[in-house]
Amino acid sequence: MLPESLNNNQINELTDQLKIRESELGLQLSQSAQNAEPVALDQQSVGRVSRIDAIQQQQMAVANREQSALMLKQVSAALRRVESNEYGFCLLCGEPIGFARLEAQPHTPNCLECQSALERD
């Protein structure tokens, strides 16, 4: 069953966006693995300021990887909802999620009202 607000073309368009995003995130995670590795603390080869900068860069890379991994989980979950014909319905209230919201965030599991309520709490 399709949400009232979505037609087959819209579902296909959103599914394509999700698949592209899933691929991009997978590639990004594989490419960023080296940047998130621990920084060597050899003061002979790297000065103190450079070492601190390298540690900050490494911490940012770790944070970016975590954010990308979370987004990949959300995108994969959305694709599973497409396969099970549950895509486009809010997981909290069960109401259809508007196309404009899905177009902006195709991975979103919640309608705008429920997401707003979650963020207020």
B/e letters for 94-114, b = 16+ CB within 10 Å, e = fewer, are eebbbbebbeeebbbbbbeeb
CA 66 distance to own-chain centroid: 10
Residue 106: pLDDT band with limits 50, 70, 90? very high
Express each pLDDT in 82-93 by its tens digit. Answer: 999 999 999 999
User: In this predicted structure, what is the pLDDT of residue 55?
Assistant: 79
Do 8 and 94 meet the contact criterion of CB atoms below 8 Å apart? Answer: no
| Fold category of 8-120 in CATH | Four Helix Bundle (Hemerythrin (Met), subunit A) (1.20.120)
Q: Which residues sit opposite 46 in a β-bridge? A: none
Distances (CA, A) of 62 to 1, 10, 42, 81, 118: 40, 35, 21, 29, 26
pTM of the model: 0.77
Side-chain half-sphere CA neighbours of 65 within 13 A: 15
Residue 1 banded pLDDT, cuts 50, 70, 90: low
pLDDT at 73: 97
> Can you give the pLDDT at residue 37?
60
What residues does each domain of the chain span? 8-120
Q: What is the pLDDT of residue 71?
A: 96
Cα-to-chain-centroid distance, residue 79: 12
Cβ–Cβ under 8 Å, residues 106 and 21? yes
DSSP conformation class of 91: T
Output the pLDDT for position 53. Answer: 82
Quick one: what percent of the chain has pLDDT higher than 70?
Answer: 83
The pLDDT value given to residue 35: 61
pLDDT in tens, 4-47: 668 999 999 999 999 999 999 999 888 877 665 665 555 555 56
